[in-house]
């Protein structure tokens, strides 16, 4: 139950700054907290840290509110960075100039990301290897990718499901990718990239002017090709009744009781509805040429086998003038909206 709350200068809006003093290289974190519960970080500026702005791990109950994060000359990896935690709220933050994700929540569950603005970073907001989350009413522009919901091989939690995203504005995320590792594989001009995530709803988002795609739905195998590491696939988790536990496994012997070890690489049972996709795909990232089918990148990229109970419904698709509008939603090979 510890709170770090800055006093905001009313006239200027300035917040207390947590930053290096310049005497040593800024290799570390602005704030690091491990194993603490009931934490609040509010009305603070984190600037120019070589690693991360506010890094929290192993916590239950964390609030990040009104954080201003700037990567500075060091291009911090993350500004708001909770991992392996639960019951998290990230709201009202502004992040810019970060070389991975401005706001990143990974290997965690039961959290909300809302009312934030992220610009000029590689990834605006990233939800990775998590479940039971909602990302809503955020704005992300001028990044390489506006919003990412990923399951990747390697993190301690091998699950990505019940990760809803709604009422987000993802506009003109066309900055050339200056990141490394997995995020370095995100194509320039990506509005929303979804990798290997199940049982989620993506609704009422406005996604416009992203040069490669509005929504890219990608399985882990295709993403490993984009990252130039075909061996980086695929995630396996212990699973019971179709619900993964998140415990990584290799064989059934790694699981308990009636659980079985199942491949989690695909996107299954998701709803994509009532989104507005406006003039995306006008200038595809060259790295996508030959990886995705011709023309389909103009609105969405779909990969993986059909019959996985994904539903695309009532989306408004405004395509570039050179694109035949009939292509907009007909290329989707997997469209099952059966209740």
pLDDT digits (tens, 9 = 90+) for 115-166: 999 999 999 999 999 999 999 999 999 999 999 999 988 899 999 999 999 9
CA 130 – CA 151 distance, rounded (Å):
8
Decide: 179 and 187 in contact? Cβ < 8 Å: no
**How buried is residue 320: exposed, middle or buried, by Cβ count under 10 Å (0-12/13-18/19+)?**
middle
Q: Which residue has the higher pLDDT, 316 or 226?
A: 316
- Each residue's pLDDT tens digit, 305-316: 544 788 888 888
| DSSP string of 39-73, one letter each residue | EEEEEEEEE--SSEEEEEES-EEEEEEEEEEE-GG
Asked which of 5-9, 32-36, 38-42, 99-103 is least confident by mean pLDDT, the reply is 5-9
Q: What is the pTM of this model?
A: 0.91
pLDDT at 291: 67
Question: pLDDT band for position 302 (50/70/90)?
Answer: low
Question: pLDDT band for position 222 (50/70/90)?
Answer: confident
Structure tokens at 234: 């695929």
Domain parsing of the chain, residue ranges: 1-98, 103-339
Structure tokens at 233: 């696939």
Provide, for the chain, the percentages of residues in helix, strand and coil under a 3-state DSSP scheme, each rounded to the nearest 5. Answer: 10, 45, 50
CA 157 – CA 317 distance, rounded (Å):
35
What are the C-alpha distances in Å from 116 to residues 103, 125, 150, 183?
9, 9, 19, 20
């Amino acid at each position: 139950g510890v709170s770090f709350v800055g006093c905001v200068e009313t006239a200027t809006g300035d917040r207390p700054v947590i930053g290096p003093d310049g005497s040593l290289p800024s290799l570390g974190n602005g704030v690091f907290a491990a194993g603490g519960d009931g934490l609040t970080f509010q009305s603070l500026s984190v600037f120019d840290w070589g690693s991360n702005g506010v890094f929290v791990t192993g916590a239950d109950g964390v609030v990040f509110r009104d954080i201003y994060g700037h990567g500075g000359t060091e291009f911090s990896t993350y500004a708001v960075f909770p991992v392996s935690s639960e019951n998290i709220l990230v709201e009202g933050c502004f992040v810019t100039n970060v070389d991975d994700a401005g706001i990143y929540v990974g290997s965690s569950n039961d959290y909300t990301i809302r009312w934030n603005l992220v610009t000029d970073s590689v990834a605006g907001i990233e939800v990775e290897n998590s479940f039971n989350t909602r990302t809503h009413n955020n704005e992300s522009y001028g990044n390489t990718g506006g919003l990412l919901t990923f399951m990747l091989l390697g993190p301690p939690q091998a699950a990505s499901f019940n990760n809803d995203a709604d009422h987000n504005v993802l506009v003109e995320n066309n900055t050339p990718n200056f990141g490394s590792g997995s995020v370095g594989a995100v194509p320039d001009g990506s509005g929303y990239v979804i990798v290997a995530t199940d049982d989620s709803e993506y609704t009422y988002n406005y996604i416009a002017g992203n040069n490669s795609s509005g929504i890219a739905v990608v399985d882990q195998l295709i993403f490993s090709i984009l990252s130039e590491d075909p061996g980086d696939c695929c995630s396996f988790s212990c699973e019971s009744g179709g619900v993964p536990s998140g415990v990584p496994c290799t064989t059934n012997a790694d699981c308990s009781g009636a659980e079985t070890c199942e491949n989690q690489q695909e996107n299954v049972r998701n709803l994509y509805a009532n989104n507005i996709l406006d003039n995306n795909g006008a200038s595809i990232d060259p790295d996508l040429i030959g990886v995705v089918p011709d023309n389909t990148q103009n609105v969405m990229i779909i990969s993986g086998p059909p019959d996985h109970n994904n539903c695309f419904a009532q989306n408004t698709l405004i395509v570039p003038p050179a694109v035949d509008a009939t292509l907009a939603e007909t290329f989707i090979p997997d469209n099952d909206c059966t209740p």
